[in-house]
A and B are shown apart, each in its own frame.
Chain A
Amino acid sequence: MSKLTIQNLHMHFSGVRALDGISFNVNEGEIFSLIGPNGSGKSTLFNCINGFCIPQKGDIVFNEIDLLNKKPHQIVKHGISRTFQNLQNIPYMTLLGNVLLGAHSRLTTKDTLNRWFSQREREREESLALEVMDFLGIANLEHKYLSGQPYGIQKLVEIARALVCKPKLILLDEPAAGMNDQETLEIAKIITEIRDILEITVLVVEHDMNLVMSISDQICVLDSGKILAMGKPDEVKNHPDVIKVYLGEEADA
């Protein structure tokens, strides 16, 4: 069963306790949301799962594979891919190229050599990306250069790049940041489709509460490196601590 288990994770940056004993489970085929105020350790958690940061203590296990001492490029091969909060794209490459970059681990050296000589291999390689781009509705832009594309498209390219390596778990870091309401609705639709059609488990960090509440199967609220509350959207919404963190305490309480 494909499932992510995080146990007692500690990540300190010299004095700052970014993550302070986090434990949770992400079950297969669910949308798991991480929310919390700024600096509560959501992105650090992503970086730990992804291998950019090495936690001091704790366990990260995915499908019975210990991810703790793996490099980022190895973790992709185990079926975890991610997007970034601030866009990390290659501006002077076509959309197709950007998406194909994500397929890096799926292409062998033999594929590359074959591609040099045969048109059909080339089309096969590009079909990997076009499949995903079609799914996200950006296939018509395949030959446009990424620089100069609107922000929404660039976000979708990031998601496409994360999807093209056929992950079992995808980490989305603020997919709806900087989007208008219309685009946010589209993102919500895409995230649920990723779960339902592609059957990929989704772990998402997001600040847009409407989006989070409407799509999540489970929500985990973080505050300064600790888990504040965890559960179904309705439970979290009415949790007193969560209200306190988000709205502040009443003055005369």
Chain B
Amino acid sequence: MKGRYQDENLKWIPILIIAIYLFPFLIKNATFSYKYYLYILNMAGIYIILTVGLDLLSGFTGLMSLGHAAFLAIGAYTSAILVDQVGLPFELSLIITPLIVGIFGFLIGFPALRIKGMYLGLTTMGFGFIVKRLIIALREWTGGSAGLQVSKASFFGISIKNDWDNYFLIYTFVILAVIIARRIVQSKLGRAFMAIRDSEQAAQASGIHLAKYKMIAFFISGMFAGFAGVLFAHTSHFISTDHFDISLSIFFIVMVLVGGIGSIYGAVLGTLFIVLMENMFIPLFKDGLSQYMHIEAGEFQVFIFGLIMLLFIIFQPQGLYGMWLKMRIYWKLFPFNPRKRFT
């Protein structure tokens, strides 16, 4: 029976992976400023790892988190301290730091056993503020509000020097993260998560320990964020509390929402979309508009993202991935497609 146990997308995955690795070579010849594009893509890659984890928590388990920038910050600072001050190798930090951040996620999971929805969002947001203040307060290790220089990574003898190297390092882990997340979603764990989201009663009656699985969701999500944090610290070489603002947490939610909440590919698409918007499309017409509107660059982004999110929630609640699925069905049925179904 063909296609019974496998996703239809499966045959595209090897091609996509090859394309990801060939992409830098492609744009190297195509444009002069390829390093800038690689830098943006690296940022997107780091955020993808995080939003995939956030999607597991918010999209699949239905536990809202507005504190993911804090998890990213903990990951980044922990790794910076472990590698530069304690002297652990980068490879080891890649394993230990996500575990530490996972434990933080686990701790934040405790209130999640009792509270839901918006209130949980506010709790995690509060966690974000606490973490930011803590980082500033622990000046001896973190450098306080002045920020912290982080050494360049070396991965099993290969030193990661510039954006070109970063790209391959980051996207290797992006691919891994997506595969792992997909595996989680398709297994017993993912079913338990979705059951908790849609019907706690059914989950309990099926033998799912609610508290345990909510904790696991937070732990896993924290691990993904921690992983992103390590990569963030060692590829941007400088971290400060300004990088991990509350607005970043909100952007993560926007990324997941725009991509399509509750699908792993959706999180990937949404993150790419938002990061590319932020860095490539908005600057194009920002200067033109600033002649007519007195608006700061940062505010303008928030304005645009708010608008995008609003439009998506109203017109395309399934997000970009839902759009893609509809298009696929459309072309499959073409020209015998009932018109109304695809509007």
Contact = CB atoms under 8 A, between A and B. Distances in A.
Interface stretch (A55-63, A118-126, A188-196): A118-126
Nearest to A115: B187
Given A90-B199, A91-B198, A122-B5, A84 B191 contact: no
B74 interface: no
A251 B202 CA distance: 45
A81 B201 CA distance: 12
A104 B5 contact: no
A93 B194 contact: yes
Interface in B177-199: 183, 187-189, 191-192, 194-195, 197-199
A105 B207 contact: yes
B328 interface: no
Contacts of A126: 5
Main secondary structure of the interface of A (DSSP, over half): helix
Contacts, number: 82
A52 interface: yes
B194 A92 contact: yes
Say which size band chain A's interface belongs to: 35 or more
Interface stretch (A23-31, A94-102, A197-205, A226-234): A94-102
B205 interface: yes
Given A88-B199, A90-B195, 20 more contacts: A72-B205, A73-B210, A76-B207, A81-B206, A84-B201, A89-B199, A90-B198, A90-B202, A92-B198, A93-B191, A101-B191, A101-B195, A104-B188, A104-B207, A104-B208, A105-B207, A112-B187, A143-B4, A162-B205, A165-B206
| Nearest 8 pairs of A and B residues by beta carbon | A105-B207, A76-B207, A88-B202, A72-B204, A88-B199, A90-B198, A101-B191, A73-B207
25 contacts: A71-B204, A71-B209, A72-B204, A76-B207, A77-B207, A81-B205, A84-B202, A90-B194, A90-B197, A90-B202, A92-B198, A93-B191, A93-B194, A97-B194, A101-B203, A102-B206, A104-B188, A104-B191, A104-B206, A112-B188, A119-B5, A123-B5, A126-B5, A161-B202, A162-B205
Interface of B: 4-5, 183, 187-189, 191-192, 194-195, 197-199, 201-210, 262
